[in-house]
A = this chain, B = another copy of it.
Amino acid sequence: MSVTVIRLCAVARWEPNGRLRLREAALELYAERGYEGTTAAEIAERAGLTERTFFRHFGDKREVLFEGEAALQDLLVATVNGSDASEPRAALAQGLQAMAVSLAPRRDALRRREAIIAAHPELRERELIKLASLSAALADALQARGLDPATARLAGEVSIALFRVAFERWIADANEQELTEHVGDALGQLALFA
């Protein structure tokens, strides 16, 4: 009975958005029961939704962890598109910082997500694919702004590698420095190698 009460309270706290509720429910269950030990039906139940609703939002339980990926990429591309075309370094920095601002409120959830991904090769591979996709989108956006294709591709790859490192530092950071500061630090350190 008390479990039911707690669950109802939790439902009340959750956002009305089904995708976000499923994401949060999945993170809880992956931490409690392990990624392998959790089914899509259980995630739906925890979120107070039907299994059918789950599969309307996601192809499988893996994809729940990659919710928001398309929106992040769109934000990156839109920011670069809206930047000063004559300054590729500034366009890059603005694109990365826009992603940082967008991820900042989710540090706790992203930390839990990171722990699950780090423990599963299948998820690490999926994460690498996502980063490669971000890199390609960034390169395309820079090329559309007039950068030659080869340099745009280099800039995309290097920038996303840099963002990944800044993100890791942020996730691991006990001092709670903001992601935007970590991105700024990494951009500054790049000068050591260029």
Task: Tell me which of B89, B92, B162, B194 contacts A157 (CB under 8 A).
Answer: B162
Residues on B with beta carbons closer than 8 Å to the beta carbon of A62? none
Would you call A158 and B193 a contact (CB within 8 A)?
A: yes
Number of copies: 2
Instruction: Across the interface, name the chain B residue whose C-beta is closest to A169.
Output: B150
Q: Which residues of B contact A154 (CB under 8 A)?
A: 162, 165, 186, 189-190
A interface, over-half SS: helix
Is A79 positioned at the interface, with any CB of B under 8 Å from its CB?
no
Contact with B along A88-115 (1 / 0, CB 8 A): 1100100000000000000000000000
- 9 A-B interface contacts by CB (under 8 A): A88-B193, A89-B192, A89-B194, A121-B129, A153-B165, A154-B162, A155-B192, A159-B193, A193-B194
